[in-house]
A and B are shown apart, each in its own frame.
Chain A
């Protein structure tokens, strides 16, 4: 996979995911309303429109939603001159337009990029990352993020974060609710139970969708093309090492946004439950470091 095939593959994937989302939601609503004794077509029609709107909305606004859920703030050059300059320099080196630069107030070191194309892109780093890395290492990390922008990874990842994440969050919610609700036999509860079962089935499917859409290869590809910008693989390798050593848990990441980050934010969690391992979207850091070292 080279960068050009990655770009077109990512653009196609975006369409497939959006279509799948609309289809799944519409079918589900149709089946439910049938099961509950309605004709189904009216509800399915409404669902079709709503899901379509959500789909289109997430195409345009996924970056804003992601930024809102991660509590990121936009910065000016004066606020973090070093960080801002690093982004500027690597944009010059890659020929990308300057993205908006954001920061997350967090001790846990991490970074991500989002947006729908290079012209509407955002780079975000945590303050922990900026404090922990030296200039060359920061350059390595930013180079990695800019490669995600250049490859259009950000478009797929943004859509996935909203649409598939939406399903994932819902299923998480319903499963928990069904475990904790007491089992008095009334109609509401039955509906709830059905919902829970359906979402329990849907959740792994959503996870698999994330997995395939996010294909772990893209992290290796972004590492490699990022290094092509900085010409210094060792810096990214030591940066990743520092990230691997760090054990602070992030406040502002969720299953829906985990795949956006340079390193899996839940990797260091003590409790590794079924869902976090399902949503494990990143290749092991050790592998990435080993590959970087062999460049």
Chain B
């Protein structure tokens, strides 16, 4: 009788350990993939001074824009929470668009090899952020699912596991696309 109890206890503990470890692994994957996003965000932040420098030579009077982008860069670097990062990152995307729109007015700038390279880098970084976000969000989905399914849900709360946040889409992205003819 005692032996049976012992076996049952061992099996239960083994299963619990397995479940616990699988949650921990999923959680580690989430934080690891978040660091992938951070790498790309940093890369993007590093591009900004160069871009400003390149455009400044041609469009001195666009001071406001330069100040804005520099400020947003500082915000991006100092952003701690993911929500903040996502928000500043989306603002930056918009600001980049206006910088490139300004550049449209200066054919000499557009033609410069340096600027073209920067433009390429910027769009490449944007793609990479998007992919990093995709990877992160799929890991979050996996982790959150692990927390919610039975029997994990029974002890996940007890052990203070919290749902991870998705790296947010912009408000614009969430809106339905309206096409008018």
Chain A residues at the B interface, C-beta cutoff of 8 Å? 81, 85, 88-90, 92-95, 229, 231
Contact = CB atoms under 8 A, between A and B. Distances in A.
Given A85-B124, A88-B128, A93 B33 contact: no
B131 interface: yes
A89 B127 contact: yes
Given A89-B131, A90-B131, A95 B36 contact: yes
A92 B127 CA distance: 10
A92 B132 contact: yes
Interface of B: 29, 32-33, 36, 40, 120, 124, 127-128, 131-132, 134-135, 139
Contacts of B33: 95
A231 B32 CA distance: 22
Main secondary structure of the interface of A (DSSP, over half): helix
Given A89-B128, A89-B131, A93-B134, 4 more contacts: A93-B132, A93-B135, A95-B139, A231-B134
A88 B134 CA distance: 14
Nearest to B40: A92
Interface centre among A81, A85, A90, A95 (most CB of B within 10 A): A95
A163 to B, nearest CB: 34
A94 B135 contact: yes
Q: Across chains A and B, which 8 residue pairs bring their CB atoms closest together, nearest first? A: A93-B131, A92-B131, A89-B131, A92-B132, A93-B135, A93-B134, A95-B135, A89-B127
Contacts of B131: 89-90, 92-93
17 contacts: A81-B120, A88-B128, A89-B128, A89-B131, A92-B36, A92-B40, A92-B128, A92-B131, A92-B132, A93-B131, A93-B132, A93-B134, A94-B135, A95-B33, A95-B36, A95-B135, A95-B139
A229 B137 CA distance: 12
A142 to B, nearest CB: 12
Contacts of A229: 134
